[in-house]
Structure 1
Amino acid sequence: MSWLGPDDEDDDDEFDEADIRFRPNPKANRPRTKRRPAHADAQIARVLAVDRGRYTVLLDEDTPDERRVLATRARELRKVAIVNGDRARVVGDTSGDEGSLARIVGIEERTSLLRRSADDTDQVERIIVANADQMLIVVAAADPEPRARLVDRYLVAALDAGIRPLLVVTKTDLADPTEFLRHFEGLGLEVFTSALDEMPLERIGAALVGHSTVFVGHSGVGKSTLVNQLVPSAERATGHVNVVTGRGRHTSSSTVTLRYVGADGTGWVIDTPGVRSFGLGHVNPARIIDAFTDLAKVAEDCPRGCTHLPDAPDCALIEAAADGRLGPRGAERLDSLQRLLATFSDRKPRDDS
């Protein structure tokens, strides 16, 4: 019994598979590869600012052709954090002309990374700045009151990153900072103090020459005012302290890199937004003592897992301080170390090996 009609019997090849047309899928049929362009013609640029997926970079630094260029990131860098201070490899339209857009295709190896976390329980790091070698911590003697514990956190982050810390105390006409500064006597910090209109700009500027310095501080301490005095073209917004809450208003909303030009040379100022907290969840406490090279050598004789805190049993550091083997300022430095380590007293050291 045939289901073919009278007009179908001679059309046996109507449904021949050779007549079926396939629509090609170039993406599916293309061989997979992990090869990326070499970008041998890429130029090295300094990242000066980051704003919603666009990066202001400086090309041909310190040459007659120096220019600022706006760039975006290459697709292969979509999971890579690009931050102020990075040395980026840039291709495309690097003219810097209005409407031009270059592309960042790589990041040079970083010499340092200053990081923070949301809080001490969060081990997800947020990179603040790359390749800085100094941190200038700005605090006020009053209005708002100085917070030694916040400064401790800045110091821990700096020591963890291998960055030299400096300290500026503003508004000394409102309060005497002597008692506050005693907390840091054992650290060998270079300290600058100033009244409202008597900022030691020459001394601070001299410390900036030849360095990349990240400025950090609580909101309302006068950090942006200091930046504007050091770099008059910066035009960073300044604010005031709320008389009710005692808190400063966040005025600098983004991190920006600025060139400092002084009588003795130039340097880089990296101004960051004011913060009221600084999480250290990413830091391994075991690395903090490494920044105290003189104490670290003595600590080699401590029992395994020693916290070096005042109640630590058989701590070689405590014993050496008691019998004077740490030297004339050894006890002060041990006290400073213990204060920093106390920040982590409720945490277990991480294994970063």
Structure 2
Amino acid sequence: MSWLDDTDDDDDLAYDESSIRSRPNPKANRPRTKRRPAHADAQIVRVLGVDRGRYTVLADEDGPDERRVLVTRARELRKQPIVNGDRARAVGDLSGDEGTLGRIVGIEDRTSLLRRSADDTDQVERVIVANADQMLIVVAAADPEPRERLVDRYLVAALDAGMRPLLVVTKTDLADPTEFLSHFDGIDLRVFTSAQEAMPLDEIGQAIAGHATVFVGHSGVGKSTLVNALTGSERAIGHVNVVTGRGRHTSSSAVSLRYRGPAGSGWVIDTPGVRSFGLGHVNPAHVLGAFTDLAEVAEDCPRGCTHLPDAPDCAIAEAVASGRLGPGAAARLDSLHRLLTTFQAIERSRLEG
């Protein structure tokens, strides 16, 4: 009888898939894991600059073998922002020799983060610098004209990041900055004034020694000139357009530079010049804190006071109207109102959206 004519019950077993032996796929059966190497041999390095996916870091900081090293990031950190000032854990070839490339495998906890958004309605924050404890704001007395509102925004950003603010007014040989500085009377803000031929380098050096200080300012105010004078670097220096009155951007990304002076050493973090500083990411509760004299008076406000122009019985408005806070208080209150109104509009749009 042909096997095709066989109708025995055993014939069904010949086609039973459960009886077929198959070779297991070791990759398919391997359990998934999120475990990563411990990298116990990782070194702590300081991120000095970022350029197209490559990071310049400082290894053995303040040690006998201090050196600059080029590194990239590990694959597991592809979604982790790594910025200037970060303290990172690095492995691989960290000799710093030409042609070598190490790898960042982790980021240490940050003590501060300086952030900005494209505008006040943008909730996407852009981290600029990590672990700085001071912000030095550079403005010019003229050419270009100083902008009180931009300085107010820097102050709010510094407070939100937990940084101590400092202010340098350059080009005081071109204009008297007294009226501009009156806008900040009563604010806990140390101010330095600088003429083009007489910069107070020793005074500024004493303020930044022992600190990591991020320098911010509008393009063309002399920030890069000041950075070069303090650090001995050769950062490009821009000029103000005579037609538009705007400065040319000379820094494309933040970079950390070592300061060494009579008072000690520190870090100067130079940032690209910006013409706007969005605060869409900032907690509105931090805004009032940037105006220290107004914040002190606000303790007498009724509970739930918004401190806006239409707020009833606002102690700040009453103190300013009476002249108790000095002649510059009205301008500071106007800045506060502008910022708080902006945040109110942002919150309203969120609720409606």
Same fold (TM over 0.5): yes
Which secondary structure state, in structure 2, belongs to the residue aligned with residue 186 of structure 1? coil
Match of 1:254 in 2: 253
For the residues of structure 2 that align with 1:286 and 1:337, how far apart are their CA atoms?
Answer: 16
Amino acid in the other structure paired with 1:344: L
Which secondary structure state, in structure 1, belongs to the residue aligned with residue 154 of structure 2? helix
CA shift at 1:148, angstroms? 1.0
Match of 1:167 in 2: 167
Shift of the 160–198 alpha-carbon distance from structure 1 to 2, 3 Å rule, reads: same
Which secondary structure state, in structure 2, belongs to the residue aligned with residue 336 of structure 1? helix
Unaligned runs of 5+ in 2: 5-12, 348-353
| Equivalent residue for 2:339, pick from 340, 343, 353 | 343
CA shift at 1:302, angstroms? 3.2
CA shift at 1:94, angstroms? 1.4
Amino acid in the other structure paired with 2:311: A
Match of 1:86 in 2: 86
- The answer to which of 15-24 and 214-223 deviates more is 15-24
Match of 1:195 in 2: 195
Q: How many residue pairs get matched?
A: 339
Question: CA deviation digits over 1:96-150, x for unaligned, max 9?
Answer: 1111111111111111111000100001110010111111111111111111111
Shift of the 35–320 alpha-carbon distance from structure 1 to 2, 3 Å rule, reads: same
Shift of the 36–304 alpha-carbon distance from structure 1 to 2, 3 Å rule, reads: farther
Match of 2:127 in 1: 127
Shift of the 275–320 alpha-carbon distance from structure 1 to 2, 3 Å rule, reads: closer
For the residues of structure 2 that align with 1:14 and 1:92, how far apart are their CA atoms?
Answer: 58
Match of 2:277 in 1: 278
Amino acid in the other structure paired with 2:216: V
Once the two structures are superposed, the pairs formed by residues 32-71 of structure 1 within 5 Å of their partners are 32-71=32-71
Q: Contact 2:288–2:336 at 8 Å: present in 1 too?
A: no
For the residues of structure 2 that align with 1:229 and 1:274, how far apart are their CA atoms?
Answer: 18
CA shift at 1:298, angstroms? 5.4
Shift of the 104–337 alpha-carbon distance from structure 1 to 2, 3 Å rule, reads: farther
Which secondary structure state, in structure 1, belongs to the residue aligned with residue 94 of structure 2? coil
CA shift at 1:309, angstroms? 3.4
For the residues of structure 2 that align with 1:330 and 1:93, how far apart are their CA atoms?
Answer: 60
CA shift at 1:205, angstroms? 1.0
Q: Contact 1:87–1:107 at 8 Å: present in 2 too?
A: yes
For the residues of structure 2 that align with 1:191 and 1:75, how far apart are their CA atoms?
Answer: 45
Shift of the 312–49 alpha-carbon distance from structure 1 to 2, 3 Å rule, reads: same
Amino acid in the other structure paired with 1:147: R
Q: Contact 1:288–1:341 at 8 Å: present in 2 too?
A: no
Amino acid in the other structure paired with 2:144: P
Scaled by the length of structure 2, the TM-score of the pair is 0.86
For the residues of structure 1 that align with 2:292 and 2:338, how far apart are their CA atoms?
Answer: 19
Q: Contact 2:217–2:273 at 8 Å: present in 1 too?
A: yes
Match of 2:146 in 1: 146
Q: Contact 2:84–2:256 at 8 Å: present in 1 too?
A: yes
Which secondary structure state, in structure 2, belongs to the residue aligned with residue 345 of structure 1? helix
For the residues of structure 2 that align with 1:207 and 1:24, how far apart are their CA atoms?
Answer: 65
Amino acid in the other structure paired with 2:248: R
Match of 1:186 in 2: 186
Q: Contact 2:92–2:101 at 8 Å: present in 1 too?
A: yes
Q: Contact 1:93–1:101 at 8 Å: present in 2 too?
A: yes
CA shift at 1:332, angstroms? 5.7
CA shift at 1:30, angstroms? 2.0
Match of 1:217 in 2: 217
- Given the alignment of the two structures, is residue 207 of structure 1 paired with residue 218 of structure 2, yes or no? no
Scaled by the length of structure 1, the TM-score of the pair is 0.86
For the residues of structure 2 that align with 1:91 and 1:226, how far apart are their CA atoms?
Answer: 35
For the residues of structure 1 that align with 2:204 and 2:168, how far apart are their CA atoms?
Answer: 9
Match of 2:103 in 1: 103
For the residues of structure 1 that align with 2:111 and 2:247, how far apart are their CA atoms?
Answer: 33
Question: CA deviation digits over 1:234-280, x for unaligned, max 9?
Answer: 21001111111111111111110000010121010000011111110
Which secondary structure state, in structure 1, belongs to the residue aligned with residue 186 of structure 2? helix
Q: Contact 1:309–1:341 at 8 Å: present in 2 too?
A: yes
Q: Contact 2:287–2:340 at 8 Å: present in 1 too?
A: no
